[in-house]
Every structure is written in C-alpha cells, then in structure tokens.
Amino acid sequence: MANRYFTVSWDQLHRDARALAWRLLDKGPFQGVVAITRGGLIPAAIIARELDCRVIETVSVVTYDEESMGKPQVVKAPVAAGDGTGWLLIDDLVDTGTTAKIVRALLPGAHFATIYAKPAAKPLVDSFVTEVSQDTWILFPWDTEVQFVPPIAKGGVTPA
C-alpha cells in the first residue's frame, strides 16, 4: 500500500509531458505513437502534438481496478504497429512493471517512454522524466478533484 501521495495537476502533467517530448525529439522521427490506455492517452496526445506525429494507436491492458489487482489481460491490441519498430509507446507511469512487461512483449521494437517511473519497473522503459519512490501513489488530475485539505499538523496529507 502507498505510504505517500504525489498530486499531479493538469499544468504539471502538461509540463512533464512536454519535457518528455523534448527528450524524445532526437530519438525519432516515429511512425506513430501507441498510447497505453487509459493513463497514457492524455500524455500520448500531448507528446504526439509536440513531436508532430499524427498517427496514434492504442493498446489496452487491464491489471487492476480501483480496489484490487487482477490477472493481467490485453483487451485491445495495437493494430498497425507491427512489432513496434519505429513506434513510440507512451504511458503515464511505470509502477510494478506488470503492464510494461505485457506491452514490451507485444511491441518489443518500440521506444517505451513514461512520464513517471518507480524503481521496480524503471529498467523496463527507455525514457522517462521523473522518478518517484515505490511507496508513492501518484494522484493524476483525471482521478482527483479540488477540495479542502487540512494542514499536515491536523492530519492532512504529507508531501511525497
């Protein structure tokens, strides 16, 4: 279970996705982008824009729901990306490596990039922007809403 929380705002996500695009610029050009759904959809759109890439494909792997881990399942494989050679594979985060191992097997030739990486799975990606500790749960803007938080001294969430 996560002991820390790292809240990512829409502005921060956009800045970090653009920073990743900047790092990827000299790795291309890419034939297209494969977004790992759902978390990789928004970063992939931002990165595709910044790299002027118009072809976007998706892969969907279900590994958990909001409450528990399940058996990983590919529910939608990419159609046009072949073995991934010349393609850019994008996700928001690499955490335990469960999804990463599955998509690596599907697209072994792709350049795999994530915005955030945790130590357990960091070796599975080719590029990332920010490393966070394994015990940190990242709160993405599509999973949160703005609300009052008490001060840390009164039980509020501590910084990551």
User: Of the residues 83, 91, 126, 143, which is catalytic?
Assistant: 91
What phi, psi does 40 have (nearest 5°)?
-85, -5
Annotated domain spans of the chain? 10-131
Cα–Cα–Cα angle for 40, 45, 49, nearest 5°?
A: 145
Is-catalytic flag, 95?
A: yes
pLDDT over 90 at 37, yes or no: yes
The tens digit of pLDDT for each residue in 47-66 reads: 999 999 999 999 999 876 65
Residue type, 12: Q
What's this model's pTM, rounded to 2 decimal places?
0.85
Q: Mean pLDDT of all residues in the chain? A: 91
Cα gap 149→51, rounded to integer Å: 38
**65 annotated ligand binder:** no
Residue 79's pLDDT is 85
Question: Domain spanning 10-131 has what CATH number?
Answer: 3.40.50.2020
Cα gap 35→16, rounded to integer Å: 16
Mean pLDDT in residue range 116-139: 96
Closest-CA residue to 144 (of 41, 44, 8): 8
Is-catalytic flag, 65?
A: no
Is-catalytic flag, 91?
A: yes
Mean pLDDT in residue range 74-103: 92
Question: What are the percentages of helix, strand and coil residues in the chain, rounded to 5?
Answer: 30, 30, 40
